[in-house]
Each structure stands twice: as structure tokens, then as C-alpha cells.
Amino acid sequence: IILVYCFAKDYNVVHAPNFAHQLVLDFEFTFPLMVVLKHFPWIFRPLVLLGEISKWFSTRKEGRWGDIVQMTSAQVDELVTKPELLESCGHETIYHHLLTPHPEKGELGEVPSKKNLIEEAQNLLAAGSDTVGNTCTIGTFYILNDPAIHQKLVEELKDAWPDKDNEMSYTALEKLPYLVRPLSCL
């Protein structure tokens, strides 16, 4: 969801059997180390010296963080060289904002470097993966445990999306009144 919405590129993560897409597995594998390195950055150097870091950051067939870096780097390269691609996205992405200069913000309003764009993309992927997954899980739990809410939501989705074989756009889903209704209104 974060990939499609923020970066306008569908890697078909949600269509993978058992949601076991390699990108998801790579994030799950590397995320614990990211948390440790965030709080104890000095650990990185001994891991490199011991040769242990390659297990986490290699670009081997199994993937891992190195593939995530390559994926975001390729997308940044493409958008920096062809910014007109942003016009065909269908909705705003994070790159619409990051690649647009904002001179009124002074130095903070400059277009970030390629390195910073890649790091920003990776931060969004990491931050969005766990939080979106947890939010969806909790939301689904409460919807399934409240028959009235479940019934209203199912009815609205059936009316708006009568043929499940046809994809429904995010824009159309965002316009469904009950689905996007604030919790305080339920």
C-alpha cells in the first residue's frame, strides 16, 4: 500500500500468496537490525569486521536490504532524469513534493540530493510497512467484531464494487463515505 501510494509503483505485494512477497520478507528480516543500529550505531563497524553484515545487507538471490536500496535507487534515478513521469502517476506521490523546489523555505526548500531522496524513500518504506500493517490488522479486527459496522461496510463495498474481477481504484475507494468516515462518527 505504501509503495503504490507514495511511489506510484505497484510491486504486487498484496497479490503474493500468503502475502509472502520477497520485499515484505526482506523488510521483516532486516527490520530488527535496523532498530538495533538506530539506537546503537557503533555496532555496525564490528558487524562489518566480523563479516556478519553481509547476511543482512547483501544483494543475494534471496534479496534483503541491498535489493531495497537498489529498487529505490533505480526509481529515484528514473524520476530525476525524467521528472515528466510524475505527471502520469494518477495521484500525488512523495516525489511530487521532494522534487519540487520550495524557495520560500530557504535551504530546506531545495530539491534533495539523490542520496537524500533514496534515504527518504527507504525511511517511508520502513516506517510505513509496520505501521500500516498494524493499523490494517487492528482495523480489520474491530470491523469483524462489530456486526453492524461489518454489515454497513460490506454493503457499501458491494454497491460501489459489484464486479470483484474488476479492480477498484484507490481514488474511488477514498470517496466511499462509510469507508473513510472518521471513527468519531461511527
Residue 54 scores a pLDDT above 60: no
Helix (H) or strand (E) holding 145: none
Q: What is the predicted pLDDT for the residue at 138?
A: 92
CB neighbours (10 Å) of residue 63?
19
pLDDT at 48: 67
**Residue 60, pLDDT above cutoff 60:** no
Q: What is the largest CA-CA distance in the chain?
A: 59
pTM over 0.85: no
What is the pLDDT confidence band of residue 90, given thresholds at 50, 70 and 90?
A: confident
180: its cell numbers: 473513510
Mean pLDDT of 133-143: 88
Of the candidate ranges 53-57, 108-112, 161-165, 167-171, the one whose mean pLDDT is the lowest: 53-57
Burial level of 24, CB count in 10 A (0-12/13-18/19+)? middle
- Mean of the pLDDT values across residues 171-186? 74
pLDDT at 178: 86
Q: How confident is the model at residue 141, as a pLDDT?
A: 94
158 compared with 56, residue with greater pLDDT: 158
Mean pLDDT of 57-64: 51
CB 76 within 8 A of CB 117: yes
Helix, strand, coil in percent for the chain, rounding step 5: 70, 0, 30
Instruction: Look at 45 and 55; give whichever has higher pLDDT.
Output: 45
Alpha carbon 88 to chain centroid distance? 19
Planar angle of CA 106, 111, 116, nearest 5 degrees? 115
